[in-house]
Amino acid sequence: MVSDIKEKFLASNFIARSASGLLLAPIVLFVTYKGGFAFSATLLFVSMLMSVEWMKMVNVTINRLYRNLWYMTGAFYIAIPMISLLYLRSFEDNGFVITCWLMLSVWGSDIGGYFFGVALGGPKLIPKISPKKTWAGLLGCIVGSFIVGVIFSVFSTFITYEWLYINILLALISQVGDITESAIKRHFQIKDSSTLIPGHGGILDRMDGFVTAAPFAVLYLHFML
């Protein structure tokens, strides 16, 4: 049983995924902590990389009008989460805490989904769009995000236990972004947006959850608090 699970993780690029995550996460959190120009410049750089991947993906389309429509879609697809992250980081005196909470919640959701999905397997969630996603993985997404919410509720004076239901919603909403990007890639018949990040794919693949989660967090903070 244990050996079977180990083989599943090794087959799913576990080492490459872990190494990439351990390398990139501290850098992203440090830049988030610095805020200001460093954070804005990083988001601009990420936006440029996402744009390159998006254009490369869309350029397989021969029809010029259809291609231009996808370019316009990409502009909103990339700009909205980036602007949302900028807004969250500049949010009064708690911008750093809020942005870290969002990032770690989305990452926690991804990690939980990955571990539950690989270890437990089971029925597929939406096989026609994302063949690897399972209902067990979706449960893992909720558990991962919830655990992050619990940690923040213990150590943060701003994000309290009352936010825990938001972490559950955030996990589900980030999965909407993940599934949306999977549908777009399937439409253009590609597996990953690029091979830039070992074990993960491209920047679009890593930012897919934030496409929906970041705007949701902005709406919650702006209208519900």
pLDDT band at residue 202, thresholds of 50, 70 and 90?
Answer: confident
HSE-CB at 45 with a 13 A cutoff on CA atoms is 8
Tokens, residue 4: 């079977």
Distance CA 122, CA 105 (A): 24
* pLDDT value of position 5: 53
Distance CA 141, CA 144 (A): 5
pLDDT band at residue 190, thresholds of 50, 70 and 90?
Answer: confident
Q: Is the pLDDT of residue 27 over 50?
A: yes
Q: At what angle do helices 2-11 and 95-120 cross, to 10 degrees?
A: 120
| Beta-carbon contacts of residue 147 (< 8 Å; ≥ 6 apart) | 108, 112
Distance CA 148, CA 213 (A): 15
| Beta-carbon contacts of residue 81 (< 8 Å; ≥ 6 apart) | 207, 210, 211, 212, 213, 214, 215
CA distances from 183 to 130, 138, 160, 179 (A): 7, 17, 35, 6
pLDDT band at residue 4, thresholds of 50, 70 and 90?
Answer: low
Please count the other Cβ atoms lying within 10 Å of the Cβ belonging to residue 4: 8
Indicate the length of the chain as a whole number: 225
Residue pLDDT, tens place only, 160-182: 888 899 999 999 999 999 999 99
Distance CA 210, CA 204 (A): 10
* pLDDT value of position 120: 82
Residue pLDDT, tens place only, 55-86: 999 988 778 888 999 999 999 999 999 999 99
- Which parts of the chain fold into alpha helices (H)? 2-11, 14-34, 36-58, 64-89, 95-120, 135-155, 164-187, 203-223
Q: Is the pLDDT of residue 216 over 90?
A: yes
Are 168 and 162 in contact by the 8 Å Cβ rule? The answer is: no
Residue pLDDT, tens place only, 131-162: 888 899 899 999 999 999 999 999 988 888 88
Between 80 and 6, name the one with better pLDDT: 80
Which of 30-39, 45-54, 186-195, 214-223 comes out lowest in average pLDDT? 186-195
Average pLDDT score, the chain:
87
Q: Which residue has the tokens 């599943």?
A: 8
pLDDT band at residue 200, thresholds of 50, 70 and 90?
Answer: low
* pLDDT value of position 10: 47
With CA atoms as reference, report the closest residue to 175 among 220, 209, 132. 209
